[in-house]
Structure formats: structure tokens, C-alpha cells
């Protein structure tokens, strides 16, 4: 199923738009030229992920070296700081146990389209 979320400009301006998909809240998030969609409820205690923040994290590097990366690709829960990879939905702390459902998003005729 395809759902038109709004125009590209509208969704970019808002940063995150929450839509209802068969009773589930889905957050469509704008990052630069790209759009991502994830379940809007944190699996920990149900906070709205769209009210959280986008950041990066430290990535694998040499011993005693700290390298910051994945800028604006880490979504942080506003209540308890749980972090999720925006592209895969996986938890950064427990990637095999917890995560957010992800959805495919495209652009067509100047609109953002969510595929469920």
C-alpha cells in the first residue's frame, strides 16, 4: 500500500510527520535530501520517537581513537535516551533484541510516499 504523506517541502519543513497506518503511528523523518520512516513508539516505554532527537555516534576505530560518525542517522528516544539506527531501526545498545520497525519511503511528483 502507498500513502502520500505530504509534499516534500512540507515534510522537510516539519522534520518529522506522524501518520496513522492501520492503527500504528509511523514517523516520517526528513534528513537532508532523504526521508526515513520508523515506528513512532519506542519499544522501551512507548515515547513518541518523533519528539526525540537526531544525532550521530562513535563508530568503530583504532584502539584509543574516537571517531564520530553517522551524523543525523541515530534517533534518540526523548524519555530515556535509547538510540536507534535510523536506516535499519536497530537499537545501538542491543541490536539483536530491540528495534523500531522501518518502512520504505520514496518521492513521487513532489510528494513523500510511504510504502507499507
CA–CA distance, 42 with 89 (Å, rounded to integer): 11
Q: What is the pLDDT of residues 12-30, one digit of tens each?
A: 999 999 999 999 999 999 9
Q: What is the pLDDT of residues 20-73, one digit of tens each?
A: 999 999 999 999 999 999 999 999 999 999 999 999 988 878 898 888 878 889
Q: What confidence score (pLDDT) does residue 13 get?
A: 96
State which residues form the domain around 94. 2-115
The count of C-alpha atoms lying within 13 angstroms of the C-alpha of 23, restricted to the half-sphere facing its C-beta, is 0
Number of domains in the chain: 1
CA–CA distance, 18 with 5 (Å, rounded to integer): 9
User: Which CATH number does the domain housing residue 11 bear?
Assistant: 2.102.10.10
Residue 113 has pLDDT above 90, yes or no: yes
Q: What confidence score (pLDDT) does residue 64 get?
A: 87
Q: What confidence score (pLDDT) does residue 58 get?
A: 84
CA–CA distance, 28 with 39 (Å, rounded to integer): 9
Residue 77 has pLDDT above 90, yes or no: yes
- pTM for this predicted structure: 0.89
Amino acid at each position: 500500500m502507498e500513502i502520500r504523506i505530504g509534499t516534500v517541502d512540507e515534510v522537510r519543513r516539519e522534520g518529522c510527520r506522524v501518520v496513522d497506518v492501520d492503527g500504528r503511528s509511523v514517523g516520517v523523518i526528513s534528513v537532508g535530501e532523504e526521508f526515513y520512516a520508523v515506528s513512532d513508539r519506542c519499544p522501551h516505554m512507548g515515547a513518541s520517537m518523533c519528539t526525540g532527537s537526531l544525532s550521530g555516534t562513535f563508530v568503530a576505530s583504532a584502539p584509543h581513537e574516537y571517531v564520530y560518525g553517522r551524523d543525523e542517522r541515530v534517533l534518540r528516544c526523548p524519555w530515556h535516551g535509547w538510540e536507534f539506527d535510523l536506516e535499519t531501526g536497530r537499537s545501538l545498545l542491543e541490536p539483536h533484541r530491540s528495534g523500531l520497525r522501518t518502512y520504505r519511503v520514496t518521492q513521487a511528483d513532489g510528494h513523500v510516499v510511504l510504502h507499507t
